[in-house]
Amino acid sequence: MQRYSGFGLVKHALDHHENWQRIWRNPKPKDHYDVIIVGGGGHGLATAYYLAKEHGITNVAVIEKGFLGGGNTGRNTTIVRSNYLWDEAAHLYEHAMKLWEGLSQDLNYNVMFSQRGVLNLGHNLQDMRDIQRRVNANRLNGIDSEVLDTQGVQEIVPHMDCSPNTRYPVLGASWQPRAGVARHDAVAWGFARAADAMGVDLIQQTEVVDLIVEDGGIVGVETKQHGTIKAGKVGCVVAGNSGVLAKMGGFRLPLESHPLQALVSEPIKPILDTVVMSNAVHGYVSQSDKGDLVIGAGIDGYNGYGQRGSYPTIEHTLQAIVELFPIFSRVRMNRQWGGIVDTCPDACPILSKTPVENLFFNCGWGTGGFKATPGSGHVFAASLAKGEMHPLAAPFSIDRFHTGALVDEHGAAGVAH
């Protein structure tokens, strides 16, 4: 791998940038891999990277239907935080947070992880009780988190309307200073480049049309473009399409795929230096380095694989944003888009073995997968390597939906991640 450095940039400039190496190869698939990862989004690429880096398993293919990072990885609002309520979730996301903190250097690729802090606003007394409960739990779990009152919020976000005159005044917030945002595409590309450098084959524009199961165990995948590719183990990391893959394996998942929409404003000069999230009024917003206000909408109620949702959801979201920031009324919305989120009943992911031996699933991240990307890949790689779920992944098995041991983040997380 050609290492990126300031010196390298100068050298390439003198060559008119004609000698940059490919960021990754475009290999023909081999007949057999030790591990096939289905899905070349952030989580899948991270899994491949950590398989190679931490477990020395490099005979790995990532098979992607479209282009790398083209699904939810490249469509989300890039919020990274770990201040989850329940221990199981908090430990998993905090594991990810620690990896985020050294990720650019680890990958030699600037993923622009910007620890500008995240505010989760409270607008009524029960919100504030929930915030106190979550912040107290975070503190004892070693996660930076504090409760702010209205004035504390106003100091961090001077342009937000924190007056008592709004319909649902801001009573306070939880504040995680280490949280922030990252450059979503760069995360996918950084993991892909580093995985490729260790020998992982990234197979794009290749659709898995069947999972090949023999004697109750997976032996490979059938692809539309390259026929059968054999594998010792298969990990499916396909987010919204998990249900489709599960069906190929002959089982169902406790998932529903819903549209989740987001939008950006036109770029404006820096005006918002942190991430503001509000469950009660249903909106969250940050400002990208380019200057766009990046705004996440609520989930649409119906099942949908269309990568688009309904307009009233956009209207409600902007109502919330303008209610919080009346000065943005004249700022203009540039683009909107949608992703397909695979939601679990308890708003927590599935990291699990399946009824098919050596077939593993990593899915169900719902509206909040991006923030977990390195952690998810890290523990999923360990699980694939060892054939047993990593301790941080173990509570997120499919079994919990039969035993009832759910990790119910709904109460703490609502719609907004």
Contacts of residue 277, Cβ cutoff 8 Å, sequence gap at least 6: 79, 118, 119, 120, 121, 283, 284, 416
- For residues 151 and 329, which CB has a smaller minimum distance to another protein in the complex? 329
Q: Find out whether 69 and 192 touch, Cβ atoms under 8 Å.
A: yes
- For residues 43 and 91, which CB has a smaller minimum distance to another protein in the complex? 91
- Between strands 172-176 and 146-149, the pairing is antiparallel
Name the region of 252 (left: φ>0; alpha: ψ -120 to 50; beta: rest).
Answer: beta
Name the region of 408 (left: φ>0; alpha: ψ -120 to 50; beta: rest).
Answer: beta
Considering only the stretches 43-51, 61-69, 228-236, 351-359, report the one whose residues sit in contact with another protein under the rule CB under 8 A. Answer: 61-69
In the region spanning residues 341 to 360, those forming contacts with another protein, defined by CB under 8 A, are: 345
- For residues 233 and 241, which CB has a smaller minimum distance to another protein in the complex? 241
Q: What is the DSSP letter of 283?
A: E
- For residues 57 and 343, which CB has a smaller minimum distance to another protein in the complex? 343
- Site track for another protein across 181-220, x = CB under 8 A: --x-xx--xx-------------xx---------------
Residue 404 engages another protein in binding (rule: CB under 8 A) = yes
- For residues 55 and 139, which CB has a smaller minimum distance to another protein in the complex? 139
Residue 70 engages another protein in binding (rule: CB under 8 A) = yes
DSSP 171-231: -EEEEETT-EE--HHHHHHHHHHHHHHTT-EEE-S--EEEEEEETTEEEEEEETTTEEEEE
Q: Find out whether 245 and 208 touch, Cβ atoms under 8 Å.
A: yes
- Site track for another protein across 91-130, x = CB under 8 A: x----------x-xx--xxx-xxxxx------xxxx--xx
| Interface pick for another protein out of 54, 209, 250, 305 (rule CB under 8 A) | 305
- For residues 48 and 231, which CB has a smaller minimum distance to another protein in the complex? 48
| Interface pick for another protein out of 54, 214, 227, 311 (rule CB under 8 A) | 311
The whole-angstrom separation of Cα 214 and Cα 203 is 24
Considering only the stretches 6-14, 28-36, 378-386, 387-395, report the one whose residues sit in contact with another protein under the rule CB under 8 A. Answer: 6-14
Smallest separation, CB 385 to another protein (Å) = 25
| Site size toward another protein, by CB under 8 A | 128
Smallest separation, CB 55 to another protein (Å) = 25
- For residues 156 and 322, which CB has a smaller minimum distance to another protein in the complex? 322
Smallest separation, CB 394 to another protein (Å) = 14
Residue 336 engages another protein in binding (rule: CB under 8 A) = yes
Residue 306 engages another protein in binding (rule: CB under 8 A) = yes
| Interface pick for another protein out of 168, 199, 210, 353 (rule CB under 8 A) | 168
Contacts of residue 18, Cβ cutoff 8 Å, sequence gap at least 6: none
| Interface pick for another protein out of 28, 151, 167, 215 (rule CB under 8 A) | 167
Smallest separation, CB 66 to another protein (Å) = 7
With residue 319 as reference, give the H or E element that holds it: helix 311-324
The side-by-side arrangement of strands in the sheet containing 118-122 is 146-149, 172-176, 118-122, 275-278, 283-287, 293-299, 256-265
The alpha carbon of residue 386 and the mean position of all alpha carbons in its chain are separated, in whole angstroms, by 24
In the region spanning residues 233 to 292, those forming contacts with another protein, defined by CB under 8 A, are: 241, 243-244, 252-257, 265-271, 281, 287, 289-291
3-state secondary structure of 374: helix
Smallest separation, CB 320 to another protein (Å) = 8
Name the region of 147 (left: φ>0; alpha: ψ -120 to 50; beta: rest).
Answer: beta
Residue 16 engages another protein in binding (rule: CB under 8 A) = yes
Exposure pattern of 27-40 as b/e (b: 16+ CB <10 Å)? eebeeebebbbbbb
Residue 402 engages another protein in binding (rule: CB under 8 A) = yes
- For residues 151 and 330, which CB has a smaller minimum distance to another protein in the complex? 330
Residue 67 engages another protein in binding (rule: CB under 8 A) = yes
| Interface pick for another protein out of 54, 87, 155, 388 (rule CB under 8 A) | 87
Q: Find out whether 59 and 37 touch, Cβ atoms under 8 Å.
A: no
